[in-house]
Amino acid sequence: MRHSTRLEVHLERLHGNFNLLRKTIGQKDLLFMIKANAYGHGFIPLFHHAFHQENVREFGVASLGAALAARNEFPELKSDIYVFSDLELEGKLAEAYHQKGIIPVLHSLADLQHFLSIPEFCHVPLVLKFDTGMHRLGIEIEQLPELVSLLKNKGRKSIYHLMSHFSCSFNSVIDDRKTTHQYECFLQLKKELRQAGFQIERTSISASGAIEQGIGVIDETHVRPGLMLYGPSALDHQKDWTWQGKNISTLKTKIIRLFPGKKGMEVGYGHYALEQDGLVAVLSMGYGDGLPISLTGASFEHKGFTGKLVGRQSMDLSFVLFPPEAEGQIRLHDEICIWDDDYSRIFELANCAHSIPYEVFTNISSRIPRIYCLK
């Protein structure tokens, strides 16, 4: 566990993002995605905050294990927890669904057949996810007649939640027609299921990128926001950004060594030689903490000076080269801010690493403490 490095999670910023989102979507219900340890910010604390402070009653996780962690931590909280991918429908773990009130998102006919064959599952809400063109997880549209027959043979007349997922909603829906096509498929799917006599209680297809662009929101009961509630826009290009939320976390570390560097001086692994004179700051954070080697070249602002990440990060340490005139101004044990509430900073780091904001957040390792701030 680190003490000189920390991820501050500002719950008042999260509250502001919830308020901003609700102004965007009106009366639509939220299914808050808290996968991957709440995108690296801490699953249990954010679950607790969202339930008590934001009145969220529906949550999405990737695995049954995550859903059980929430149920075991807060057995008294009455909420829907959806498991989206790692279902564990067979074996002893499957008992958790009806015993703990957890909801599996069924994404194959095989899962559905197994679900319908277990008597205890008759009291578990039926949630179906269809593949409308992403080809990841989802029941194929062509299997709809078989699915209808299967449900009718088991006496099922209602679908608790019907879902799909866009593959390219991070692109402009004007320039990339894939999202529009997928949504047309979803609308047709709903129509055919209703014509077959099924009541559909809830529907959703839109995650952050689609919500920002207003597609799949108006005609559905729910949206499934993820990244946008943690701060950044989910869209790829800055020209398309409409979301004005705040990044909910601030990542800070300390300078643990400071020395003047001369052009040609080798620092760290691999015979890396400084390309110019400057002030070298050794940070107490490396790729073992979530600063990957691919971030070499990223810039950092501190006390009015711009530093550059140089050399090759080690597991525990990184080097930042500041200009020579920073000597005497930047000091040993100064705290360096890697990112703050401006989510454009996350995009800068992601672009430098040829990555995306999701990965920047989830890279932060468990040895970085999460500190939860109310103000």
With a CB cutoff of 8 Å and minimum separation 6, the contacts of 102 are 64, 67, 68, 71, 81, 83, 96
Q: Boundaries of CATH 2.40.37.10 in the chain?
A: 249-340+342-373
- CA–CA separation, 260 vs 193, rounded Å? 70
**Per-residue pLDDT, 94:** 86
pLDDT reported for residue 131: 98
Burial label, 336 (beta-carbon count in 10 A; 0-12, 13-18, 19+)? buried
Query: Which residue, 93, 150, 92, is CA-closest to 126?
Result: 150
CA 164 to chain centre: 17
Number of Cβ within 10 Å of residue 157's Cβ equals 10
pTM summary value: 0.94
- What percent of the chain is helix, strand and coil (3-state, nearest 5)? 35, 25, 40
Q: Which pLDDT score, from 0 to 100, does residue 2 have?
A: 82
11-237 carries CATH number 3.20.20.10: yes
Q: Which pLDDT belongs to residue 241?
A: 85
Q: CB of 80 within 8 A of CB of 50?
A: no
Strands 278-283 and 249-261: antiparallel
What topology does CATH give the domain 249-340+342-373? Lyase, Ornithine Decarboxylase; Chain A, domain 1 (2.40.37)
CA distance 60 to 38: 10
Please state, in angstroms and rounded to a whole number, the distance separating the CA atoms of residues 168 and 182: 10
**Quick one: which of 4, 31, 37, 16 has its CA closest to 374?**
16
- Give the model's pLDDT for residue 238: 80
Domain(s) labelled CATH 3.20.20.10 in the chain stretch across 11-237
Residues of the chain with pLDDT under 50: none
